Amino acid sequence: MTTTTTSSSIFSSAPRIPPDAIFALTAEYIADPSPQKVNLGQGTYRDDKGQPWVLPSVRESRRIIEERGLLHEYLPILGLKTFREKTAELVFGEGYGKIQDKLATSQTLSGTGSLHLAGSIIKSCLLRSHPSHPLPTVYIPNPTWSNHHLVFSSLGFNTLSFPYYNPTTKSLNIPSYLSTLRAAALGSIIILHACAHNPTGLDPSPEEWKEIGGIVKERNLFPLFDAAYLGFNSGDYDKDAWPVRYFVSELGVESAVCLSFAKNMGLYGERVGCLLLCTSTPEIATNTQSVLESLQRSEISNPPAFGAKIAETILANEKLRRLWFEDLRTMSGRIQEMRRVLFEGLGRYSSGNWDHLIRQSGMFGFLGLSRDIVRILKDEYHIYMAENSRVSIAGLNSGNVDYVARSIAEVLAREQ
């Protein structure tokens, strides 16, 4: 009997893909033995002692869940119904009643899972209606969150970067933004950061959102809101959700809202997210929801329970909801305060103009430093930030902010 052995592998064509830059940076930070080290890389909230913060509303919600008796049963395929309903009510505010029956919703694996599910259902529906047409282009601002291109290109979409930021003025490049939208093919998908744009911290003003919305409606573009920071940006959920409400309730355009509870509830590891699809009729919504259910079944069968129960308990309990709104103000207030102290320190120690830092908002500061300076800060000062000089302001505290400002000024002076 002869046995055929083969050394060929189904995986032999697998390329070596470099690790994700921001996760690799976190690993480098953890391995750094320096007592001076500062982590301004990954966007996770820290308190003034540099520690992860369990929100008091989350703590209380957990206590209630445990008192009720924590069961470990499967959730339905689309996740917890009350969680989905309360999330939609929260996002759309007073306008919820009017659009409620045109929504298709699903619990998702945090914000990333929500973006992926949104891409999957758009693809699935378009391939049914136009099997011979190429998928629409997904327009993504440049710069953007490091995962956007990967999520949509892995689903087979062609992604296209458009200039969002003007590095000379260190501000939002609205003329280029608007001209890109005007030139986009009808039906293109546009990724919109609902607030706290990552990494620049620059959002359109309400007037600019209205201009963007006007073109989106006129050209039948599909707005896909990445809403990972609602409430966390300004500390006021209603204010942060305004652009989403404007597009859905005022303009009445079909859209997707991809939500994450990682930042605003501090539930990073629990992977709590929700996809809200705003469709044009109740019948379309019902059918769309059935497709969401089928896609979710094939992908993850059903979503994780614990984090969603925490969020649901908060959203469904008026007292806890108010406590959570207070937590949002605590987190965004501390970030705003650290932004101000960093700005003042940089002004004191360096000769540069740092006005851009104070014009930005949200978790991130986009400093505008060269890659060389970023590298020197890491190698010699143990200050870790993304290569594009995006800093997570939440990594600053009263014990390290002066050191960071002085170090940046020192390296800048040295390199001049």
Taking CB under 6 A as the rule, does residue 110 contact ligand PLP?
yes
Q: Which of 57, 61, 112, 279 binds ligand PLP (CB under 6 A)?
A: 112
Stretch that binds ligand PLP, among 5-13, 110-118, 322-330, 338-346 (CB under 6 A): 110-118
Burial class (CB in 10 A: 0-12, 13-18, 19+), 2: exposed
Q: Which of 226, 324, 354, 378 is catalytic?
A: 226
Instruction: Output 43 or 266, the one with its CB closest to ligand PLP.
Output: 43
Stretch that binds ligand PLP, among 24-32, 104-112, 156-164, 173-181 (CB under 6 A): 104-112
> Which is nearest to 367 in space by CA: 403, 325, 412?
412
Minimum gap (Å) between residue 88 Cβ and ligand PLP: 18
Instruction: Output 105 or 112, the one with its CB closest to ligand PLP.
Output: 112
Minimum gap (Å) between residue 385 Cβ and ligand PLP: 15
- Taking a C-beta distance cutoff of 8 angstroms, is the pair 307, 300 a contact? no
Peptide bond into 143 cis (omega under 30): yes
Instruction: Confirm whether 226 is a catalytic residue.
Output: yes
Instruction: Output 196 or 412, the one with its CB closest to ligand PLP.
Output: 196
Taking CB under 6 A as the rule, does residue 243 contact ligand PLP?
no
Instruction: Output 118 or 374, the one with its CB closest to ligand PLP.
Output: 118
Minimum gap (Å) between residue 340 Cβ and ligand PLP: 22
Q: Which of 99, 172, 189, 228 binds ligand PLP (CB under 6 A)?
A: 228
Instruction: Output 145 or 324, the one with its CB closest to ligand PLP.
Output: 145
Stretch that binds ligand PLP, among 105-113, 299-307, 313-321, 354-362 (CB under 6 A): 105-113
CA distances to 52, 166, 331, 341 from 334, in Å:
13, 28, 5, 11
CA distances to 68, 187, 212, 287 from 119, in Å:
37, 14, 21, 17
Instruction: Output 118 or 346, the one with its CB closest to ligand PLP.
Output: 118
Name which of residues 181 to 220 contact ligand PLP (CB under 6 A).
193, 198
Instruction: Output 295 or 409, the one with its CB closest to ligand PLP.
Output: 295
Q: 166-191 in b/e burial notation, b at 16+ Cβ within 10 A?
A: eeeebebbbeebbebbeebeeebbbb
Q: Which of 263, 309, 354, 378 is catalytic?
A: 263
Minimum gap (Å) between residue 48 Cβ and ligand PLP: 22
**Residue at 282: amino acid letter:** P
The binding track of 256-295 with respect to ligand PLP, each residue x by CB under 6 A or -, is: ----x-x----------x----------------------
**Residue at 202: amino acid letter:** L
Instruction: Output 364 or 381, the one with its CB closest to ligand PLP.
Output: 364
Taking CB under 6 A as the rule, does residue 43 contact ligand PLP?
yes
> Which is nearest to 103 in space by CA: 274, 268, 273, 335?
274
Q: Report the distance separating Cα 286 and Cα 103, nearest Å.
A: 8
Instruction: Confirm whether 242 is a catalytic residue.
Output: no
Minimum gap (Å) between residue 256 Cβ and ligand PLP: 13
Stretch that binds ligand PLP, among 109-117, 211-219, 233-241, 353-361 (CB under 6 A): 109-117
Q: Which of 53, 86, 102, 145 is catalytic?
A: 145
Distance of CA 31 to the CA centre of its chain: 27
Instruction: Name residue, tokens 């991809």.
Output: 258
Q: 382-412 in b/e burial notation, b at 16+ Cβ within 10 A?
A: bbbbbebbbbbbbbbbeebbbbbbbbbbbbb
Stretch that binds ligand PLP, among 108-116, 174-182, 230-238, 240-248 (CB under 6 A): 108-116
Name which of residues 135 to 164 contact ligand PLP (CB under 6 A).
145
Instruction: Confirm whether 145 is a catalytic residue.
Output: yes
Q: Report the distance separating Cα 253 and Cα 261, nearest Å.
A: 25
Minimum gap (Å) between residue 379 Cβ and ligand PLP: 25
Taking CB under 6 A as the rule, does residue 362 contact ligand PLP?
no
| Residues assigned a catalytic role | 145, 226, 263
Residue ranges binding ligand PLP (CB under 6 A): 43, 110-112, 145, 193, 198, 226, 228, 260, 262, 273
